[in-house]
Every structure is written in C-alpha cells, then in structure tokens.
C-alpha cells in the first residue's frame, strides 16, 4: 500500500446515519466521495438503545431548535421519528448510488456505534452523521439563532482535516484536499501537537489550493480540537483511522460532540 491513497480509490464506503443534526449534510458529502461506479456503498441507520431507554423516563423532553417548543418524548414517538429518519436515509443512499452507478445496500442497526463499527472493518472510508440529541442545550439554540441571523451559507463551510501522529493521517489529508478541490471549498487542517514537525510539509501540500482557501491550525489536545472544530463549523471533518484500527472510543466522542459529518479514512 502506498503512503498516500486518494479517496477516489476507495472501493467500499460505509455511511452511518445517527438521526442527528448533520444527517441532512451526509448525502452531499457522500456524493462528493463517490466518484466511480466501482464503489460499494453500505448505508446503516443507527438506532441507539440508550436513547430509547432514556425516552422511557417520565421527565424526558424534546426541544425543537427552531421553534424552541418543548414536548414530552415517549418511546413510541422516538421510534416513529427513527423510522421516518431511516426511510429518508435509505432514500439518500439510493439516490447517490443510482446517480453514480454504484452498488448499494441499507440496513437498520439497533445498538451502539461500537458494534456497527466492528461489523464494518473492511471498509475504505467510513462516513458518520452526528448522534441524535434528545434535548438541545440553550447554547446550541443561541448558536443556531446566530447562524440564521447572519445568513451563514452552507456553501461557505470549509472541509476540515485532523492531521495527527497516526499512519493514516496522510491519506486523510489527501482525501481532504481532493474533496475541497472538487467542491470549491476552503480547507482547514487541524494539526495535533505531537505532529507539529509536519507543518512545513503540510504548507507545501496545500499550495495547490492557494493561501485564501487553505489554513493550518495547531491544536494541543482533544479538548482544543473539539472547540476549534465547533468554531470553524466545517461541512465535514476527515480523520485517519490509525494503525490500531478505527479507535472506537475516540470516534464515538467526536460523533457525540460535533455537529458535522465525519469521514474516517482507513
């Protein structure tokens, strides 16, 4: 295997929908990643058992981010919403696959993200939507309102890449450059502290995008990464799987905390 693998060489893409806020953008990212008819797409809608158990509690409330309307959330209502979201997710996968002439399949998985990941270790790319949030925080509501008032256009959102010490970081960067170039978006590379010596090489690799479309930001740790990604509000975050596999714990944290799709490059 070469040191750098372009995402266009990916033969199998697994996309996991979590019913979260970023699922609406997953189809667009998937369409950008699928560039050849030989790609095999597997769609998975994740029904989180912990959310269903939470909905059984008498005080569980769902808060609409747009209207701020509060309502009681029951297991039956949550399952109904999940079924609707699963149908929409399947339609999105079918639409992307049919346009690209790619083989596709879809299934619903009830359980944890770690189980779904364990069943998909032979993939080239993993595309994740965010986890479903039962109750939106006041901070999220204020952030949403600010974005609406500012008229923030989705088309202006950059592609983000985490470049760290893993052996797949170079492939993640290559995927990010290709995606940003084809979509006409900017690119932000979050450089982990332990990989800061790679900055000169990164600067050279980003020259093709130009100084106005590419930026490098050093992040000293996981907490700083989460804060930096939230501020940047990218259309997608691309990370490397790492030499030990997909590192389910780290991926799970990012999926729960971020509000954008995430691509894991193997």
pLDDT value of position 27: 86
pLDDT value of position 63: 64
Question: Under DSSP, is residue 259 helix (H, G, I), strand (E, B) or coil?
Answer: coil
How many domains would you assign to the chain? 1
Q: Nearest 10 degrees: CA dihedral of 4, 9, 15, 21?
A: 60
Which CATH number is 135's domain given? 3.40.50.620
Mean pLDDT score of the chain: 77
- Within-domain flag for 1: no
Q: How far apart are CA 55 and CA 18, in angstroms?
A: 16
Residues sharing a CB contact under 8 Å with residue 195, sequence separation 6 or more, in sequence order: 163, 164, 165, 169
Q: How far apart are CA 158 and CA 58, in angstroms?
A: 41
Q: What is the mean pLDDT of residues 110-129?
A: 76
Domain, as residue range, for 231: 7-265
- Within-domain flag for 2: no
Region for residue 233 given its phi and psi (left: phi exceeds 0; alpha: psi -120 to 50; beta: otherwise):
left
Q: Which of 76, 69, 35 is nearest to 52 (CA)?
A: 76
- Within-domain flag for 255: yes
Q: What is the mean pLDDT of residues 230-249?
A: 78
Q: How confident is the model at residue 8 (pLDDT cuts 50, 70, 90)?
A: very low
Q: What is the mean pLDDT of residues 114-122?
A: 69
Q: How far apart are CA 225 and CA 213, in angstroms?
A: 20
What is the three-state SS of 60-110? CEEECCCCCCEEECCHHHHHHHHHHHHHHHHHHHHHHHHHHCCEEEEEEEE
Cα angle, residue 15 at apex, residues 222 and 172 outer, rounded to 5° = 45
Least confident of 25-29, 97-101, 140-144, 234-238: 140-144
150 C-beta neighbours (distance < 10 Å), count: 8
Least confident of 113-117, 149-153, 239-243: 149-153
- Within-domain flag for 202: yes
Residue 5 near residue 174 (C-beta atoms within 8 A): yes
pTM for the full predicted model? 0.77
């Amino acid at each position: 295997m070469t040191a750098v693998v372009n995402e266009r060489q990916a033969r199998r893409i697994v996309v996991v929908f979590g019913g979260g806020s970023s699922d609406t953008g997953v189809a667009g990212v998937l369409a950008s990643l699928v560039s050849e008819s030989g790609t095999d797409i597997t769609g998975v809608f994740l029904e989180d058992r912990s959310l269903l158990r939470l909905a059984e509690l008498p005080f569980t409330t769902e808060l609409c981010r747009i209207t701020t309307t509060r309502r009681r959330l029951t297991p039956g209502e949550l399952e109904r919403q999940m079924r609707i979201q699963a149908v929409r997710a399947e339609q999105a996968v079918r639409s992307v696959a049919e346009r690209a002439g790619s083989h596709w399949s879809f299934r619903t998985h009830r359980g944890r993200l770690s189980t779904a990941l364990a069943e998909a270790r032979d993939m080239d790319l993993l595309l994740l939507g965010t986890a479903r949030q039962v109750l939106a925080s006041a901070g999220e509501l204020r952030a949403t309102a600010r974005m609406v008032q500012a008229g923030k256009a989705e088309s202006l959102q950059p592609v983000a890449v985490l470049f760290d010490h893993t052996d797949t970081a170079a492939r993640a960067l290559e995927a990010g450059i290709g995606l940003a170039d084809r979509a006409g978006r900017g690119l932000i590379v979050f450089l982990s502290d332990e990989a800061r010596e790679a900055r000169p090489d990164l600067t050279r690799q980003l020259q093709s995008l130009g100084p106005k479309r590419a930026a490098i930001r050093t992040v000293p740790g996981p907490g700083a990464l989460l804060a930096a990604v939230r501020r940047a509000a990218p259309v997608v975050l691309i990370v490397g799987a790492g030499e030990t596999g997909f590192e389910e714990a780290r991926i799970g944290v990012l999926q729960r905390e971020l509000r954008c799709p995430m691509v894991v490059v193997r």
